[in-house]
Structure 1
Amino acid sequence: MPDFTIRYAKKSELDRVNEIRYQVNRVHSNGRPDIFRDDFCDEMKNIVYKVFDGENSDVIVAVNGDTICGFATVEYIAKEKSPYGLQREFYQICEFGVDENFRRMGVATKLISFCKQEAENRGFDRLELDVWEFNEGAMRFYDSVGFKTYREYKEMDI
């Protein structure tokens, strides 16, 4: 089994991260073509550069040798107290993906472990993400590494 290193991305690696993001985009556009665009437009490509440059966000990569084989984009969220909820802070995984050629090799588990440790190092006590129900493999994976569902969105066609 290959050995993977997890670390913060370098700006020069973001084009490769976008290649994996495009694979993830296809999963979504195939799973819900009524919601997700099937192209990977420049606006979509540029998101990862904004995350990289953001003050409260980062891009994390999984590397095997010289090959980026997985990634996560994360944000550090501070929500103010509102009429509906208490003030809270959490570490959010916004995007997450593993190259199709490196799946089922432990990359995703190592990425989640890194995120969990980094969240703890930054003083967060909660890691959050969202996942689409059609993505059954991702749902099973997140459950297997300890995520719990605390909210669901429902829809009804009319």
Structure 2
Amino acid sequence: MKNLIVRYAKREELESVNKIRKQVNEVHVKGRPDIFREDGWQFIEPFVYTRFDEENSGVIVAAIEDEIVGFAVVQYIVRPESPYNKERKFFHIEEFGVDENYRRKGIATAIIDFVKEDAKKRSFKKIELDMWEFND
């Protein structure tokens, strides 16, 4: 998409990210009302600020001009070896979404491409994404 830039978010852009997160939450409530609460938004809205401030996390945005049209909340996870498991190091896409007015325009692909490059730069060889079957 023309004029699309993918980069790490600025704190003042998190309100725009939350507008898209709310759209994603509504999809989850509709897709799995047995799991997701309709009133749950009030509890998860501040979460993006927490992830933004954490050293091992980040918020990535896709922007067209000054409008935020997509996002990913990511974590850089390193789990040391334990008696049960080998060491695991992976780039975790915890949340992901594109504004409903911009879907099917290549924005999600651009965000994933950015994540892949960023993971490489940070020496992560694995990327994990949590997803529900009703997401398309």
Same fold (TM over 0.5): yes
Q: Could you tell me which residue of structure 1 aligns to residue 111 of structure 2?
A: 111
Q: Normalising to structure 2: TM-score of the pair?
A: 0.95
Unpaired runs of 5+ in structure 2?
none
Contact 1:4 1:62 in 2 (8 A): yes
* Secondary structure class of the residue paired with 2:38: coil
Q: Could you tell me which residue of structure 2 aligns to residue 67 of structure 1?
A: 67
2:2 equivalent to 1:2: yes
**Distance (whole Å) between structure 2 residues aligned to residue 24 and residue 68 of structure 1:** 15
Choose between structure 1 and 2: higher strand proportion. 2
* Secondary structure class of the residue paired with 1:5: strand
Per chain length, whose mean CA-contact separation is higher, i.e. which structure has more relative contact order (CA < 8 Å, sep 6+)? 2
Kindly state the Cα deviation for residue 38 of structure 1 after the two structures are TM-superposed.
Answer: 1.6
**Distance (whole Å) between structure 2 residues aligned to residue 84 and residue 115 of structure 1:** 29
Q: Determine what percentage of the aligned residue pairs are the same residue.
A: 55
* Secondary structure class of the residue paired with 2:96: strand
RMSD between aligned residues: 1.0
Kindly state the Cα deviation for residue 82 of structure 1 after the two structures are TM-superposed.
Answer: 2.6
**Distance (whole Å) between structure 2 residues aligned to residue 61 and residue 3 of structure 1:** 13
Runs of 4+ in 1 over 4 A off after TM superposition: none
